[in-house]
Structure 1
Amino acid sequence: MRWARGGRMTRRAPGWCGNEPEPGLCTEIGAASGLFSFDPDGWDAYIGRIRFAGAAVLRPILSLLGTLFSLITLVVVVVGLSLGAVLHIYGQDLPSHESLANYTPPTISRIYSGEGRIIDEFAQERRLFTPASDIPDLVKQAFISAEDKNFYTHGGYDAVGIASALVDAVKSRGRNLRGASTITQQVMKNFLLSGDRQMERKIKEIILATRIEETLSKEKILELYLNEIFLGQNSYGVAAAAQTYFNKSLRDLEPHEAAMLASMPKAPSDFHPVRQKERLLDRRNFVLREMWENGYLTEEEYEAERAQPLRSVQNGDFAPFSAELPPRDYFTDEIRRQLSQDFGEGEFFTGGLSVRATIEPEMQVHAARALRRQLEAYDRGRGRWRGTGLVLPPEALDSEAGWREALSALSVPRDIDLDGQWYPAVVLEPGDQAMRIGIEGVEGIHEVPRKDISWLRGDFRATFTPGDVVHVRRATDDNGTFANWSLRQVPEVQGGFMAMDVNSGRVIAMQGGFSYQASVFNRATQAMRQPGSSFKPFVYAAALDSGYSPATIVIDAPIEIDTPQGLWRPRNSTNKFYGPTPLRTGIEQSRNLMTIRLAQEVGMDVVARYAERFGVYENMGQFLANSLGSEETTLYNMVAAYAMFANGGERVRPTLVDRVQDRYGKTIYRHDLRDCVDCDDPTIPATRGPRIVSDREQVMNAVTAYQLTSMLKGVVDRGTASGAINLPVPVAGKTGTTNDARDVWFIGFTSNIVAGCYIGHDQPRGLGRAAYGSSLCGPVFQEFMTEAVQKYGGGPFEVPPGGHFIKIDRYSGARLPDDAEGEFVVAEYFRDGEEPIFGLMYDGGFAMGTDLDLFQAGERENVEEVTTSTGEKAQVGGKASFGSMSSGGLY
């Protein structure tokens, strides 16, 4: 051992101490160590040696610590730089999180009736947007407890949760992959990123989550989440889900119901309320426990809610919301079609529009019933059975449960209500005296008696086989009590009907066929058909505005016209002719030859411009045959045009929509732009309505409109519609029947309501000899307008200023004294300042022979008695053939 003294190293003999600073110290040390002796003069050397020995021991330790510190620092720097590089790389080209501040999620567009009742809704994603302020705290607490208990405290991501998820994934060797996303991260994933489980997406998600936390408040983030999240059953957002699962609003939810909704985001398909009921119940109870542990529920509330059974619409515990909506029909689907064109399909299905429809639900029921009744009456008169064309497989008939399940799965019309609801049914056993059937939604096995099917032609047993799917309804006796089940079928013949206000153009009812579920094609707006004689008023309107009057004489006699297709010989229905006849009688009796001559006199270019001005056509062909209604148009256009006759000649734009509002309640469309001058005046007498100022275009002279209305009133009073229409108020209208009765029409109006009907096969073919506009469409108009008059009333047609009445002979057109009376007398309205010239005749440039079989004054036109489809007798004329009249109208 060496000892240091004053920088000089000496070696001392063991056991020698010298000048010991403290007696016994050196001896004790030396004795204890046996390594050195103490030098009495070497205390400094002693201390130095101790220091040297400590330094020798600490030097490697300090070196190790320095190395570790450097390594840690390097790792931290590398990790920091790497993390920064990763954040920089993945932070580039990310979607703008700031756009979420103005995000408007796709929401349901709803259609309301005038009374504010929801009648239909359309959506790509069934979502009802609800602001955060309107979402109850209970619902927020349920989702926070289930998905992100630290939502209000973290900065967008939960580091502890992420670490825990990583540990679980490592321990399970990748089998237990669970998410650790916060609600903010889920918002980023749902709105701006994909849903795949990749590290890249997760990094982007965290970056965006931290950014959005700096941009939006927690409540706004929660609002986005609760309105966007998919919760199964095509429900997006909590409001739609509450309606889907419980048929409740958010404020009416119980804690256990809110907890059930909060269970869904994890995997909606894995928590079906019926198929996975137990699994969903466990998840719901877990959410309730989390709510209790987080302080949102007391222990008593938790225990009580946990004991509640799992109830849902899907399990039959609540009536579905859809049950409160009427079945979708032609009216609301036409609104969908028109608004999709006006606003774009995307905006209509996702914009959350509130649409106030013009429909009058009560009148819509009457319209559907009236049209269906006539279509079925015609169909049953044919005596042919077609059925639904659907047959259940034999194995499904082995048990009641089997055929009920198979029947419920079929796409068969279930929206028909005609003298009672029509039910889908299956033939189980045709019998000699009765047919045994099973009926959807009705317990037991039932029978249809043989007498109920007496209208069918052919062998009864050969017509039906077990498994045939049919329709039936309850039949009642004279006392209104149930008598038996009655067999029904959807008619092959189709038609359309619509009614509208003549002043505003508001469509109050529309039926586009027998059953929307059987055929969505709307025959009122989409079917292009020949209007036949119902077009003739536009020829007469053009003439009246061109200086003709109701007393103007036009020759009713045969015509021959050389066309590129051959010689055209149009004729009247009866093959008889009137000779010189006033315009009034010509339209009342629907004289084809008079109409052609009049069109030739006025000019088909003028007639075409008139039809286009009224909106019947966009570009009408200028052919004489078109004066008889041979060019196709829609019932929608025709009814709107007739409304302009009724309201004094003012432009009417038909509409199914009064108003459209966006999701914020701002009106973006309003149909009626008229100015109500004194609607806010409280001093208006109860006997007088407010004054409304209209700036609508005058399509035709008001005097002309009244003259034409008066002539069309004659059609109903004594013309081709006289046997079909009988209402307690004045009615004007016109029938229409095309060649071989391929299309039959009637359009009529009172002082405030115009309605029209069309009936025909979708693939045009003749309806039979008894088919006329008056015999088929007349009863539809009569049934509907009987109800309409009770609701809307009606009165005399308003006589405009600027004219005066003169009595004439309606057969000869001669002027009569003012005191003349009788069946042949009619008071015609003439313009002031235009003294009519009586006795002047027009032939359109076609000569009239001298040996014609002319009708005499008062001679009846009806020449044949027929049985109509309703079983009633009617007098009609003969039909024209294609060779005698290539197209156009008869009656």
Structure 2
Amino acid sequence: MFRSLILVISLVFMIIILGLGFGAFIFFKYGQGLPDYKQLVDYEPSVMTRVHAGDGRLLSEYAEQKRVFVPFVAIPNLVVNAFLSAEDKNFYYHPGIDPMGIARAILTNIKNYTSGRKLVGASTITQQVAKNFLLSADVSLDRKIKEAILAFRIERALTKNRILELYLNEIYLGFGSYGIATAALNYFNKSLNNLTVSEAAFLAALPKAPNNYNPFNYPQAAKSRRDWVIGRMLEDKLISHKSAHVATSSALITRKRKETEYVKAEYFAEEVRRELASKYGNQAVYRGGLVVRSTILPEYQRFSDISLRNGLIKYDRRHGWRGPIRNIGIPKDWLRALSKIPHPKALGNWRLAVVTNMTNIEVSITVDDGSEGLIPLNELKWARKWIKGERLGPKISLPKDVLKIGDVIIVEPIIVGEVINSVLKYRLFQMPEIEGALVVIDAHTGRVLALSGGFSYERSQFNRAFQAKRQPGSAFKPFVYLAALDNGFTPSSLILDAPFVIEQGFGKPKWRPGNYTGKFYGLSTMRLGIEKSRNLMTVRLAQTVGMEVVSKYAKDFGIFENLPIQLSMALGAGETTLLNLTSAYAMIVNGGKKIETTLIDRIQDKHGNTIFRHDRRKCDKCRTDFWTNQGIPDLTNERKQIISPTSAFQMVSMLEGAVQRGTGRMIRDLGIPLAGKTGTTNKSLDTWFIGFSPDLAVGVFVGFDKPRSLGKREQGASVAAPIFKEFMRSILSDKPAVPFRIPSEVSLVRVNANTGELAELGDEEVILEAFKPGTAPVGSEQQFDGSEEMPEKSNKIGLGTLY
């Protein structure tokens, strides 16, 4: 008996020795050349960059893997417990591998194998970290051995909480979700702190096979897997019976983020992405987890898009109907034939349809969703045939003058819900060929508040506000006049409007500029030169002041870098961008202070450190934790003064006059203080309107991408100005009117609006003209300056308005 016991003990000892030797051999063989597990100590996963609008709403996300990193201390216990129950309940007790779990898995797999069920694994969370971070996903015995060795090493180098932090932030959970925080947002539109037991259990159910448990495609499988996790949590005593019952009894309700929760501003977002990549590189943008607060105001952006789009559509309709997309004859199955037609880009809310029948008063259509509709005759009246050479065909009397059966067209619902005998009414639509841009800038800070770079980003990603360089035409003239005002001229100075001939050099023809009207007006005030946009006066003034001076001002305002010293440049023959020109106008209304335009207010790294801030002013008394009883903060304005405030205000007043009586007068019926200038280049290739309120500068450009005439009768006043007007009406109509700020040095004197001389009794057209100290007409009696209270405005008094 004793000898038998000795034999058994010896045998067991030998087995242990052989086992240890075999283990050492395996460890030595597979432990060589493994990846350095110590890199996980300082590992930081790829995190997406998120860009927010001014109101905090999400604008865009940039990432190779969409992930929001959450430190372990910020992960709720409920979420941690759900994953431990589902993946590794002994996580806090094993050394990297779980012998008990392996034994359980072996016994389970014997049963599953004999019954034909799927085999189960026994990988711990630490092993999954080793596999996901340091090894490939190959299924092999070699890889499992290496995984186990690395798991032991990782457990020695990292704390349990750090291992769990890496796992929960790195793991892929389907639906484009990397990490638990992104998954919570994508599936439930919630932060981790707001998840219920049901929702946390569902996320914990995903690691094994996220696509198989996608709740949108396989709701029943997703619910069954969730319930299994809830059962494990109850078994592990991590939740109560009541919580488990409530969770399993509830439906698995997912909630995708609504489009309204995002700010739609593709042109703006792309410019932000470009700027971030330029500053920090693509690696930081797509992996660095930057948090960006942009300058965009969503309400302004929405009105900007609507105003620009409406203006382009109205212009397009004025120039006639270019015909249907194609004609498909009279097929047996209208809808099937229509489904084969490629959809034009940027359809948005517009629909593809085919004409199936018509009468003398309406057109019957089949829409691409299978519904039927009607187009009343009055919605076809605009569609006169476009004839090359800027001509239109005869007026529309019948639907057949426009359409034929089988025509594939684009239609737009007139009013959602308005029906005729249960059939929805539509209007005929065509995609404009014309393009344009609109930009809104805070005149005092340079913050870009809205940006529309074209009719549709889907149709064309080319940003016409930032990237398109075009001739500004007459929109540049104010800077010629500013150079004069800053060098001794006044708004009442007289300039000769008469024929002007420029010798351009040997062998070159003489240049004879002319006014748009083809007329000459003799001696006229500088104010009239701006208000009526007189070319001859502008060229003569530029010659008098000197194009070198004009070129310097153009550079100081950021319009042109090096404007050629040629008189034709005074009429806006150089090329610039809408952003640069609008920014220059902003510097007029802000009193002549230099601004730097920006789309970004602040950038923080993923640790919350501010690495960029547009507003660099220091404010020592702006700490909110000591707000009580502290003095009024004093923010030093260190912006460069590029022209005198008085010269700037004189130009504001003159441009307000352009809106009241000049080329921008179609805007004056808004009844709020606005100023601005139209711009139209030769042959109407480009049209502009740049204007401002006391605090906002808004620029509009309209033209074809491949330059061609917009039409003989089309100008900045007819194309661009209505877009500016619609936008300003949308954002300012319900706000109190704010007058333009008057510098204390300015004197306002009553003068004749046409002659610039002191107003006399009986003069019908009288304005308050702005003069610098010592330049007001001698003998003026009634004067106001910026230090005195202005007379209350009415429709017969005020800056640039008539008495």
TM-score, scaled relative to structure 1? 0.75
Change (3 A) 1:640 1:549: same
Find the aligned partners of 2:72 and 2:680 in 1 and give their Cα distance.
61
1:424 paired residue number: 351
Task: Give the letter for the 2:723 counterpart.
Answer: V
Percent identity of equivalent pairs: 39
Task: Give the letter for the 1:260 counterpart.
Answer: F
Matched position secondary structure for 1:519: coil
Change (3 A) 1:307 1:511: same
> Is contact 1:474-1:482 (8 Å) kept?
no
Unpaired segments ≥5 residues, structure 1: 1-53, 416-421, 838-891
Which of 355, 362, 377 is the matching residue for 1:434?
362
Change (3 A) 1:559 1:469: same
Cα deviation code 1:330-350 (max 9, x no counterpart): 333433333333333332344
Which of 138, 147, 170 is the matching residue for 2:87?
147
Unpaired segments ≥5 residues, structure 2: 386-397, 779-803
Which of 398, 413, 416 is the matching residue for 2:346?
413
1:230 paired residue number: 172
Cα deviation code 1:276-332 (max 9, x no counterpart): 4444444334333333333334556556644555x354xxxx454445334444333
2:289 paired residue number: 352
2:221 is equivalent to residue 293 of structure 1: no
> Is contact 1:169-1:176 (8 Å) kept?
no
More deviation, 95-104/644-653: 95-104
Equivalent residue runs for 1:715-864 within 5 Å: 715-790=658-733, 793-802=736-745, 804=747, 816-817=757-758, 822=763, 828-832=769-773
Change (3 A) 1:294 1:745: same
Equivalent residue runs for 1:555-704 within 5 Å: 555-556=496-497, 557-562=499-504, 566-674=509-617, 692-704=635-647
Find the aligned partners of 2:529 and 2:210 in 1 and give their Cα distance.
71
Task: Give the letter for the 1:339 counterpart.
Answer: L
Task: Give the letter for the 1:140 counterpart.
Answer: V
2:183 is equivalent to residue 241 of structure 1: yes
Change (3 A) 1:305 1:312: closer
Change (3 A) 1:598 1:411: same
> Is contact 1:368-1:511 (8 Å) kept?
yes
2:265 is equivalent to residue 339 of structure 1: no
Matched position secondary structure for 1:379: helix
Which of 129, 138, 144 is the matching residue for 1:187?
129
1:246 deviates by: 3.0
> Is contact 2:686-2:702 (8 Å) kept?
yes
Task: Give the letter for the 2:473 counterpart.
Answer: G
Find the aligned partners of 1:64 and 1:153 in 2 and give their Cα distance.
35
> Is contact 1:496-1:511 (8 Å) kept?
yes
Q: Give the alignment's Cα RMSD to 1 decimal.
A: 4.2
Find the aligned partners of 2:356 and 2:707 in 1 and give their Cα distance.
37
Find the aligned partners of 2:406 and 2:194 in 1 and give their Cα distance.
49
> Is contact 2:293-2:601 (8 Å) kept?
yes
2:313 is equivalent to residue 372 of structure 1: no
Which of 199, 210, 217 is the matching residue for 1:257?
199
Find the aligned partners of 1:693 and 1:791 in 2 and give their Cα distance.
32
> Is contact 1:129-1:227 (8 Å) kept?
yes
Task: Give the letter for the 2:346 counterpart.
Answer: P
> Is contact 2:27-2:149 (8 Å) kept?
no
Find the aligned partners of 1:761 and 1:650 in 2 and give their Cα distance.
33
2:63 is equivalent to residue 127 of structure 1: no
1:833 deviates by: 5.8
Change (3 A) 1:246 1:779: same
1:44 paired residue number: none
> Is contact 2:57-2:263 (8 Å) kept?
no
1:30 paired residue number: none
Find the aligned partners of 2:273 and 2:690 in 1 and give their Cα distance.
26
1:451 paired residue number: 378
Matched position secondary structure for 1:236: coil
Task: Give the letter for the 1:95 counterpart.
Answer: D
1:502 deviates by: 1.7
> Is contact 1:423-1:440 (8 Å) kept?
no
2:324 is equivalent to residue 382 of structure 1: no
2:252 is equivalent to residue 325 of structure 1: no
Cα deviation code 1:57-81 (max 9, x no counterpart): x9xx999999979976884575255
Find the aligned partners of 1:502 and 1:779 in 2 and give their Cα distance.
21
Task: Give the letter for the 1:126 counterpart.
Answer: K
Matched position secondary structure for 1:672: coil
Cα deviation code 1:792-815 (max 9, x no counterpart): 5444433324455666666566xx
Find the aligned partners of 1:171 and 1:73 in 2 and give their Cα distance.
30
2:479 is equivalent to residue 501 of structure 1: no
Find the aligned partners of 1:602 and 1:498 in 2 and give their Cα distance.
31
Find the aligned partners of 2:429 and 2:90 in 1 and give their Cα distance.
63
1:616 deviates by: 1.3
Matched position secondary structure for 1:782: helix
Cα deviation code 1:141-177 (max 9, x no counterpart): 2222222222121112234555776895999799977
Matched position secondary structure for 2:206: coil
Task: Give the letter for the 2:656 counterpart.
Answer: K
Which of 506, 525, 549 is the matching residue for 2:466?
525
Task: Give the letter for the 1:753 counterpart.
Answer: L
> Is contact 2:334-2:366 (8 Å) kept?
no
Task: Give the letter for the 1:457 counterpart.
Answer: R
2:413 is equivalent to residue 473 of structure 1: yes
Change (3 A) 1:211 1:834: farther
1:648 deviates by: 0.9
Equivalences, count: 755
Find the aligned partners of 1:817 and 1:274 in 2 and give their Cα distance.
77
1:456 deviates by: 1.5
Task: Give the letter for the 1:128 counterpart.
Answer: V
1:375 deviates by: 1.6
Task: Give the letter for the 2:202 counterpart.
Answer: M
1:216 paired residue number: 158
Find the aligned partners of 1:280 and 1:646 in 2 and give their Cα distance.
60
Task: Give the letter for the 1:434 counterpart.
Answer: E
Change (3 A) 1:86 1:289: same
Task: Give the letter for the 1:232 counterpart.
Answer: G
Cα deviation code 1:670-723 (max 9, x no counterpart): 2233456876777899xxx97643111111122221222222222222222224
Find the aligned partners of 1:414 and 1:182 in 2 and give their Cα distance.
51
TM-score, scaled relative to structure 2? 0.82
More deviation, 389-398/461-470: 389-398
Matched position secondary structure for 1:270: coil
1:614 deviates by: 1.0
Task: Give the letter for the 2:283 counterpart.
Answer: G
1:372 deviates by: 2.3
